[in-house]
Amino acid sequence: MGRGTIALLTKEIPADKRILITFGGGSVKKNGVYDQVTEALKNHNTVEFWGIEPNPSIETLRKAIELGKQEKTNFLLAVGGGSVADGTKLIAAGLLYKGDAWDLVKLRKPITDTVPMATVMTLPATGTEMNRNAVISRYETKEKYGIAANYPVFSILDPETTFSLPQNQIAYGIVDTFVHIMEQYLTVTGVSRPMDRWAEGLLQTLVEIAPKIIDNPTDYNLMSDYMLSSTLALNGFIALGGVPQDWATHQIGHELTALHGLAHGHSLAIVLPGTMNVLRAKKGDKIIQYGERIWKIKEGNRNERIGKTIIKTNEFFRSLGLTTHLSEEGIGYETVNEIERRFNERKVAFGENANVTGAVAKLILQDRL
C-alpha cells in the first residue's frame, strides 16, 4: 500500500510467468493506472482481457477462461475494482476446472486448484483484495451468488488511483465497507471487547471521513484511510475472537442487484435499516451499543434509542447522495414477493440466528418500500 506501489509488479510477479491481465470497462486508461501497469510489466509476457463488468457475469468470465486456456496463462493480474478482482478469482479456478465454471458458483463445488492471482485495486469497497470471497452473477437467469474462492497472492493499493473515482462509486464503496463491518458487528454483545472496539473504530473512521471525502476526493490521507478501512473491513480481522456474523443484508441486496441492476453498495444502503428494524428484538442490545458509540445516542427508552439509531444510519447513507428506499428506485411489491419466493424456493434462512427466511426478508423489504 502506498504511492507508486504499482511499480512493484515488476519484481512481485516472477519473470517466467505468462500473465493474463484482466480489466473492467476502461477507466484505468484514463487515470494512468493502465500505463503504470504496462510499464511495470513491459518485460513480462502478458495478454489482456477487457470488459469485466460491475457484478461480473459468468457469461463474460467464460470468455476470459477460454482466452486464458488458449494462451496457456499461468498467472492472473486483476486491475480495477472489486468486480474485476472477483471475476478474476473465478477465472483462476475456471482455468483448472474441467466443467463449466458456473458449477463452481451455483453448485458451490469446492474450489481446490487455482492459478495464482494478484490484484491492483483502484476502488476501495469490497475488501476482495485480502479475502477469498467472490460474488458472481448470471445475467441470463438474474442470479447472483457469493462463493469462497481463492486469496490473491498479493494486492497493490495505491490511494492515488482512487482520485478520479466518480462520486457515486465512492458513495457505494463507503456503504459497502460500512455494511461489511455491520454484518460482523451487529449481532450479539459481549463476545469480544477488542473486536467490538475494532469494528467501532472502523465505523467511526468512515463516519468521520465520508463527508470530507465527498468534498475532497484527492486528499491522499483521506483516501488512504478509506482504502485501508475497506481492506480491513473484510479481511477476517473483525471476526477474530469468534464473532458471530450476519450477512442477511448482503443476501437480500444481491437479489435487488440481480433483479434490477442496483449497484451493490446502493442495495445495502436500502436494505440495512430494514434489517435493523425488523430484527430489533434479537439485535437490540448491539444496536443500542452501536447507537451510543457511533452516533452518541444515549437518551430515551430501548425502542426509542433503536429507532433513533436506525434513522441516523439511514441519514448517513443519504448524506452520501444515495436513495435508501425501494420506491425511490421504482421498485415495488412485485420484487418483494419475488425475493420471498426465491428464498423460499431455495429453503434458505440467513443471519446469525438463521431466522431470515423468505417471510422475514419480505418484512425487511416492506419496511424499505
Residues that bind a second copy (CB under 8 A): 1-2, 190, 192-198, 200-202, 204-205, 208-209, 221, 224-225, 228-229, 232, 237, 240-242
Please report how close the Cβ of residue 239 comes to a second copy at its closest, in angstroms: 12
Q: How far apart are CA 119 and CA 153, in angstroms?
A: 8
CB 250 within 8 A of CB 356: no
- Specify the 3-state DSSP secondary structure of 356: strand
State which amino acid sits at residue 328: E
Nearer to a second copy, 17 or 180 (CB): 180
Please report how close the Cβ of residue 158 comes to a second copy at its closest, in angstroms: 13
Please report how close the Cβ of residue 129 comes to a second copy at its closest, in angstroms: 14
Number of Cβ within a 10 Å radius of residue 14: 11
Number of Cβ within a 10 Å radius of residue 97: 18
Nearer to a second copy, 216 or 355 (CB): 216
Please report how close the Cβ of residue 213 comes to a second copy at its closest, in angstroms: 12
CB 222 within 8 A of CB 216: yes
Please report how close the Cβ of residue 198 comes to a second copy at its closest, in angstroms: 5
Please report how close the Cβ of residue 9 comes to a second copy at its closest, in angstroms: 20
CA atoms within 13 A on the CB side of 88: 36
Nearer to a second copy, 192 or 344 (CB): 192
Please report how close the Cβ of residue 221 comes to a second copy at its closest, in angstroms: 7
CB 146 within 8 A of CB 138: no
The strand ranges marked E within 95-238 are 117-121, 133-138, 143-148, 154-157
State which amino acid sits at residue 2: G
Nearer to a second copy, 157 or 287 (CB): 157
Nearer to a second copy, 204 or 303 (CB): 204
The gap from C-alpha 103 to its chain's centroid, in whole angstroms, comes to 22
Please report how close the Cβ of residue 225 comes to a second copy at its closest, in angstroms: 5
Nearer to a second copy, 167 or 204 (CB): 204
Nearer to a second copy, 143 or 160 (CB): 160
Q: What letter would DSSP give residue 121? A: E
Nearer to a second copy, 156 or 331 (CB): 156
The strand ranges marked E within 87-132 are 117-121
Ramachandran angles phi, psi of 154, nearest 5°: -160, 165
Grid cell digits, residue 251? 443476501
Bridge pairing between strands 143-148 and 133-138: antiparallel
H-run or E-run covering 360: helix 358-366
Grid cell digits, residue 26? 476502461
Please report how close the Cβ of residue 105 comes to a second copy at its closest, in angstroms: 32
Of the candidates 317, 311, 283, the one whose C-alpha atom is nearest the C-alpha of residue 367 is 311
Nearer to a second copy, 20 or 130 (CB): 130
